[in-house]
């Protein structure tokens, strides 16, 4: 299972634990039901703002959304690093702060 699928399963699990339907979560997160469905099925990866909205709607921290998700290893570390740097440069300050929280959650706060 990939990271998108694991994240989608986490969202679905938290939603069900809180007794919410996809419609209710979509309303609370100010997103379309189709968006929630695609995320839960691991088809789409949410942007930083949507991750933040999902956490708020679920009454969870961003860390809770990412705790214990599998992190894929790769032999192409340098290529991945270049991609990461390029993507980080595209973020505004709020998105960058959220990305840092997400990275800390994925790495369990190491470093």
Q: In this predicted model, what pLDDT tens digit does every residue of 26-72 receive, in sequence order? A: 999 999 999 999 999 999 999 889 999 999 999 999 888 987 777 55
- pLDDT score for 84: 76
58 C-beta neighbours (distance < 10 Å), count? 20
**Alpha-carbon dihedral angle through residues 98, 99, 103, 109, given to the nearest 10 degrees:** -30
pTM: 0.69
Q: What is the mean pLDDT of residues 75-99?
A: 75
Q: Percent of the chain at pLDDT above 70? A: 86
Instruction: Tell me what the mean pLDDT of segment 91-106 comes to.
Output: 81
């Amino acid at each position: 299972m990939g990271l998108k699928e694991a994240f989608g399963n986490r969202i679905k699990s938290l939603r069900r634990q809180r007794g919410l339907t996809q419609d209710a979560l979509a309303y609370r997160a100010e997103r379309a039901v189709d968006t929630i469905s695609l995320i839960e099925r691991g088809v789409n990866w949410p942007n930083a703002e949507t991750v933040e909205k999902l956490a708020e709607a679920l009454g969870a921290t961003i860390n809770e959304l990412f705790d214990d998700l599998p992190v894929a290893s790769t032999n192409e570390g340098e290529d991945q690093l270049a991609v990461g740097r390029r993507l980080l440069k595209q973020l505004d300050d709020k998105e960058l702060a959220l990305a840092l929280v997400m990275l800390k959650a994925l790495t369990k706060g190491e470093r």
